[in-house]
Structure 1
Amino acid sequence: MCQLLGMNCNTPTDISFSFEGFRRRAGVTDKHSDGFGIAFFEGKGVRIFRDNQPAAFSPLGDVVKNYRIKSFNVIAHIRQATQGAVNIENTHPFIREIWGENWVFAHNGTVEDLEICPNNHYQPIGTTDSERAFCCMAAELKKRFSEKPTERELFNAVVDISEEIATKGVFNFILSNGEWMIARCATKLHYVTRKHPFSKVFREDDVVIDFSQYTTEQDKVTIITTQPLTKNEEWIEMKNGGYVFFKDGDKVFEIVGTLPPCKAHV
């Protein structure tokens, strides 16, 4: 299956350290080689880079590495295709407008038999179950709320809608509108929050960075990913059916999953 990466923080942050370890899983340390994408929120805008080549060897991946874009919210995805051809239109993350905002979504897993009504404003462009799920979620949110709801109302609605979709398969995802980030776990999802005092961190490929050289005492950065990217940090493993809502690097709302991750789908 695919893998997910997200970053939510309280100051514009460069995700290069995490992304470089993550993209190695797309052809070097793992087999998620059916394309990749990464989205950076900048104000109300979004920069999205996608390629149907393996992220580890993609020239576009090198562009992202060298660009060093700083953002409050970033979502990345490396694909191991289960539904849909290996092409750009099927490459995550996907983006839609909701209440005049850019929403970005990436999914890991497979959901079956999702139908999109012909008169629905939100229609999939590609042929993945993931994009269909996102369109279903967006349509249902617009149906429930004519205007943007409060964050608590929104979180509750996303949970409710997602639980229905999750009855049809494996539904790990990361979702953001540039202000906050929501993560749902079905099989594997982990997160870690980095804050003062910052220290040296060892990536899984033994690359090391001393975050104290690049941060202030006020900085707070949360990284969400399918599998932990570092060896000397205490990553929190989410459970099946768990949700977390992050804003400014903080965990604001949480529903703790009641079941252990489903190893059969890993």
Structure 2
Amino acid sequence: MCDLLGISCNEKERASRSLPLFANLYSDDNPHGWGIAYFDGARVVVKRDTGKARKSNKFEEIWNKVSSRNFVAHVRRKSQGEENVLNCHPFKNKLMDRELMFAHNGTVYDVRRNKPVTIHKNACGGTDSESIFFEMVDYMRDYMKAGRIHGLYPALIYAIRKIFKRYTRYITLNFLMSDGSMYYAFNHYTSAPVYMLRRKPGLGKPSDSSKRAILFSTKKFTNENWVKIPKDQLLVVNNGEII
């Protein structure tokens, strides 16, 4: 399986504590690639490569230099799709006038047709994860164009329900998604749930007293108070605070 790390902050951060620790601990179990996505203004920037994150100079350069309020990181153990950059998470897509970043942990299989998920026509790689993301965005776009309740949250709930209706609830579907403002975390993988950590203000330097952050991960990679996200609950965070 793969592993996820997500970070939502109220101020721009370099994530120079969490990203290297996550990579050092879990790259050996997930040796087939890595990726980091973050927002630069309203634009999603995605950096990916094959191999182990902890051995990558490119990965180190990112966490040393890049600052953002929202990060998604992923280390890959391939289950579908070859070992190449296009199959590394995170992925990005556009919905109406906003960009989205997304990473998935789990496997989506077309149970009813007894075959792997059909690769989405707009996908660049060959993974179920990217195709499911693109399919979800299609459903969200349909929802918004139909004039239903406004907002990304109800559109995403609608998309999740459509995915379950098509592929059944036997799939495993953990994901992290952000539009640069709101951050969404979803847990549907009993044996590998998503955990949340609320970083309190005032930890570290006195100047940090106003800073807050929420972390998501499929691993409790520190000794802090990680809490499992309830199954099938879509959690929404903004600037390091639960909505």
| TM-score, normalised relative to structure 2 | 0.87
Calculate percent identity across the aligned residue pairs.
27
Q: How much does 1:242 deviate?
A: 2.6
1:243–1:57 distance in 2 versus 1, CA, 3 Å: same
Q: How much does 1:11 deviate?
A: 1.3
Q: How much does 1:159 deviate?
A: 4.1
Secondary structure of 2:123 counterpart: coil
Q: How much does 1:156 deviate?
A: 3.2
In structure 1, the residue matched to 2:72 is 75
In structure 1, the residue matched to 2:182 is 180
State yes or no: 1:241 paired with 2:232: yes
In 2, Cα distance between equivalents of 1:40 and 1:116 = 25
Show structure 1 runs of 4+ deviating over 6 A: none
1:238–1:158 distance in 2 versus 1, CA, 3 Å: same
Secondary structure of 1:25 counterpart: helix
Q: Deviations over 1:112-156 (max 9, x none)?
A: 1234676xxxx2111100011001101111111128932443353
Q: Deviations over 1:217-241 (max 9, x none)?
A: 3x2210111111211x211112332
Q: How much does 1:195 deviate?
A: 2.4
User: Over the residues paired in the alignment, what is the CA RMSD in angstroms?
Assistant: 2.1
State yes or no: 1:192 paired with 2:197: yes
State yes or no: 1:97 paired with 2:94: yes
Q: Match for 1:229 among 221, 229, 239?
A: 221
1:84–1:96 distance in 2 versus 1, CA, 3 Å: same
Long gaps (5+) in structure 1: 200-210, 253-266
In structure 2, the residue matched to 1:250 is 241
Mapping 1:50-199, distance limit 5 Å: 50-67=48-65, 69-113=66-110, 114-115=117-118, 123-146=122-145, 149-164=150-165, 165=167, 167-187=169-189, 188-196=193-201, 198-199=202-203
In structure 2, the residue matched to 1:262 is none
Q: Deviations over 1:79-131 (max 9, x none)?
A: 0000000101101000111112111110001111234676xxxx211110001
Q: How much does 1:62 deviate?
A: 1.9
Q: Match for 2:39 among 32, 38, 41?
A: 41
In 2, Cα distance between equivalents of 1:174 and 1:152 = 13
In structure 1, the residue matched to 2:212 is 220
In 1, Cα distance between equivalents of 2:81 and 2:173 = 17
Q: How much does 1:14 deviate?
A: 1.9
Mapping 1:5-16, distance limit 5 Å: 5-16=5-16
In structure 1, the residue matched to 2:113 is none
Long gaps (5+) in structure 2: 111-116
